[in-house]
Chain A
């Protein structure tokens, strides 16, 4: 399956990437592994992950077409 990955804030800057598509992703753990392989620098940053606008806790299942967003700490206002 294919998922769309978004990086925001400082994570977009350090990865040099706002959007990246990953093909043949099996699950969230697989996706995390591939992202840390592509962008090892993100280990130095705090972030949460949202799938389709919902912040996740743990490793929920992924389905094709999901949007997975890497969110640094918020700074609105």
Chain B
């Protein structure tokens, strides 16, 4: 569990490194699985996505992320920790907007639990994204 699952702007390599350093202290773990979500420069109707502006319902993000982590820990008994950090505000194409880090005794559950966490985040986390195009127009996008 965390007090804050959100970060303003992109999830930088410095932030990811901090998480990896914390995981290194979990010496019962034998494997970490990491998922990084990146903003794609999609082309939509002839216009290229330059950035995504994320917004979030902060108090509900905290409640839902806590529940997601509880769900994953209950389902995968080999998993020692699950960490989630999601961007708010503007994240440019090529930058990271989501990091999930799962630590487990063995690799199989680390990878399965990481995939499960990604799916639950897409389904349950109250976050919205507005794609910003080169011409400064925008479009709201929802998860499929």
Contact = CB atoms under 8 A, between A and B. Distances in A.
Interface in B36-62: 37, 54-57, 59-60
Contacts of B97: 77
A71 B127 CA distance: 9
A65 interface: no
Interface string B105-128: 000000000000010011111111
Contacts of A8: 55, 57, 126, 128
B118 A74 contact: no
Contact of A75 (B64, B124, B141): B141
A72 B128 contact: yes
A21 B43 CA distance: 40
Contacts of B121: 76-77
A75 B98 contact: no
Contacts of B122: 74, 76-77
B127 to A, nearest CB: 3
6 contacts: A8-B55, A67-B59, A69-B60, A72-B128, A75-B127, A75-B128
Interface of B: 37, 54-57, 59-60, 63-64, 86, 97-98, 118, 121-130, 140-143
